[in-house]
Amino acid sequence: MSRSPRQKTALILGITGQDGSYLAELLLAKGYAVHGVVRRASMFNRSRIEHLRSGTGRNRLTLHYSDLTDHTSLRRIVQKVAPREVYHLAGQSHVGLSFEIPEVTSEENATATLALLEILRDLPYAVKFYHAASSELFGAPRTAPQNETTPVNPVNPYGCAKAFAAQMCRVYRQAYGLFAVNGIAYNHESPRRGENFVTRKISLGAARIRAGQQKEIVLGNLDAKRDWGWAPEFVEAMWLALQADEPRDYILATGRATSVRDFAAAAFAELGMKLKFSGKGRAETARRTDTGAVVLRVDPKFYRPVESTTLLGDARLARKALGWKAATIGPAVARQMARADFAALKA
């Protein structure tokens, strides 16, 4: 086992995901040696980092096989790599799905985070740990916007697991002096977002409808509002949080909420399709004003058993302590995603 960390060496759990791939890009550009943990699967799922494996910096990118449930192999990887910074961005990240698979959600998001904390606690040198906490730990908060002191009140299995993991980070920080940071991130999106999240479902759907490849998109609750930001900006905050003198928790958010309906309207408008909404709630639809065709429909099957409410973040601490501020917000996120998806379809 290495007795000291390798400077400018980072380990990313979740490197094949949206955030992991942007973070890997950022760290490689900063001259880091980047190690990523990938799941062994029969099909490769590395499309988001494929370009890094052939670009400049490829010699500084190493992938290791493991799984969040295999704590022994995670320990071995950490000991071998001896990272100075560990970014834990992995796990089951779909809130709706967490109602279907609560135990997997809890194993990956709660127990695995605790296992990582235990692994890092045993290291013979000081390591810095970033945990991707989530606004979902606030669930149904009594106040808006939320800040680092707002009480947790999760309303779904995903939020419960994140609340446990975030609190464990605080315990290890206090009890063992571990440099553990919770980034309490609100929704952050990009063209690399998975297609089962609402933003990407909308941007890709709008692009396909514009290209004549799809007729309509079917969504759940259009009244739901989220504080939507831009993922590449959020990974900057993750890195900055580990460069600070002290480990703290940070709200990472834009401070502005947009409804699913308005997000969809912005994405469609960007591709030249103005929408007219009619009906209410579970019977709402939207037509294109130019053709009159229904292009958006609500289906109650996409409603959640319980919806998180008023998730709006106050990121003033991140601004003050890290100099970080979200620049791309709500409708601008929708426009950029729709443009990128349409460009990719044309290409």
Closest approach, Cβ 284 to ligand G4F, in A, equals 11
**Measured distance CA(56)–CA(285) in Å, rounded:** 47
Strands 258-259, 225-226: pairing is antiparallel
Closest approach, Cβ 160 to ligand G4F, in A, equals 12
Three-state helix/strand/coil letters over the chain: CCCCCEEEEEEEECCCCHHHHHHHHHHHHCCCEEEEEECCCCCCCCCCCHHHHCCCCHHHEEEEECCCCCHHHHHHHHHHHCEEEEEECCCCCCHHHHCCCHHHHHHHHHHHHHHHHHHHHCCCCCCEEEEEEEHHHCCCCCCCCECCCCCCCCCCHHHHHHHHHHHHHHHHHHHHCCEEEEEEECCEECCCCCCCCHHHHHHHHHHHHHCCCCCCEEECCCCCEECCEEHHHHHHHHHHHHHCCCCCEEEECCCCCEEHHHHHHHHHHHCCCCEEEECCHHHCEEEECCCCCEEEEECHHHCCCCCCCCCCECCHHHHHHHCCCCCCCCHHHHHHHHHHHHHHHHC
Closest approach, Cβ 251 to ligand G4F, in A, equals 11
Say if CB 276 and CB 289 are below 8 A apart: yes
Closest approach, Cβ 220 to ligand G4F, in A, equals 3
Closest approach, Cβ 199 to ligand G4F, in A, equals 6
**Residue (277 or 302) nearer to ligand G4F, CB:** 302
Q: Which residue has the tokens 């002290």?
A: 246
**Residue (9 or 221) nearer to ligand G4F, CB:** 221
**Residue (5 or 183) nearer to ligand G4F, CB:** 183
Closest approach, Cβ 299 to ligand G4F, in A, equals 8
**Residue (9 or 105) nearer to ligand G4F, CB:** 105
**Measured distance CA(347)–CA(344) in Å, rounded:** 5
**Measured distance CA(211)–CA(208) in Å, rounded:** 5
Say if CB 187 and CB 227 are below 8 A apart: yes
Closest approach, Cβ 286 to ligand G4F, in A, equals 13
Closest approach, Cβ 92 to ligand G4F, in A, equals 8
**Residue (192 or 226) nearer to ligand G4F, CB:** 226
Closest approach, Cβ 261 to ligand G4F, in A, equals 9
What does residue 230 show for φ and ψ, rounded to 5 degrees? -110, 120
**Residue (118 or 148) nearer to ligand G4F, CB:** 148
**Residue (197 or 277) nearer to ligand G4F, CB:** 197
**Residue (81 or 133) nearer to ligand G4F, CB:** 133
Residues that bind ligand G4F (CB under 6 A): 93, 95-96, 134-136, 185-187, 196-199, 201, 219-221, 224, 226, 260, 302, 304, 307
**Residue (52 or 260) nearer to ligand G4F, CB:** 260
